[in-house]
Amino acid sequence: MEKLKFSITINAPKEKVWDIMLGEETYPKWTEVFMPGSYFDGDWSEGSKILFLAPDGRGNTSGMVSKIKANKQYNFISIEHLGFIENGKEDTSSEAVKSWAGALENYTFEEKGESTKVLVELDSTEEHKEMFENTWNEALKILKRITEG
């Protein structure tokens, strides 16, 4: 897997950026570029299971099964991806999952004066690299607009 990095500076304190990025009502707004209707089910506490979900257009729910590997409130959060959900069923053991299970998605919040630099680092397969490069920068721009607006 390859580690991809994306960042943006947002004119707001890190606590506000954190709350908007991970908030139940605001998360779907900036993640819309990845999958329309995105939301999460679970919480962001360290060690907890969290599902990243979206309707699949056929009346089912699809998404990712993950756990919060680390949570240093307002500073750092690490998400470990364990599997996927298709047609409402979790899969954490198929051959398709084994090639990327354990991939990390890390968010670092670094306050610089009255602004916050958000750094996103994630593990990606070659198959998903182009999609992430096209969507993460747009997602971070939306996060900035929501937070600063």
pLDDT at 75 over 80: yes
pLDDT at residue 137, rounded to an integer: 95
pTM of the predicted model, to two decimals? 0.92
- Select the more confidently predicted residue: 62 or 142: 142
Mean pLDDT of 14-27: 97
Structure tokens at 79: 């998400």
Share of the chain above pLDDT 70, in %: 97
Helix 126-148 vs helix 14-22: angle between axes, to the nearest 10 degrees?
120
Tens of pLDDT, residue by residue over 81-122, are 999 998 778 989 888 888 888 999 999 999 999 999 999 999
pLDDT over threshold 70, residue 74: yes
**SS3 category, 49:** strand
Nearest CA to 84 out of 69, 99, 106, 68 is that of 99
Whether the per-residue pLDDT at 136 is higher than 70: the answer is: yes
Lowest mean pLDDT across 2-11, 25-34, 48-57, 133-142 = 48-57
Coil, helix or strand at residue 63: strand
21 and 130 Cβ atoms separated by less than 8 Å: no
For the chain, domains (ranges, CATH) are 2-148 (3.30.530.20)
- State the average pLDDT over residues 50-75: 88
Give 13: exposed, middle or buried? Use CB within 10 Å, 0-12, 13-18, 19+. middle
Q: Tell me which residue has tokens 């959060």.
A: 77
The secondary structure of residue 127, as a DSSP letter, is H
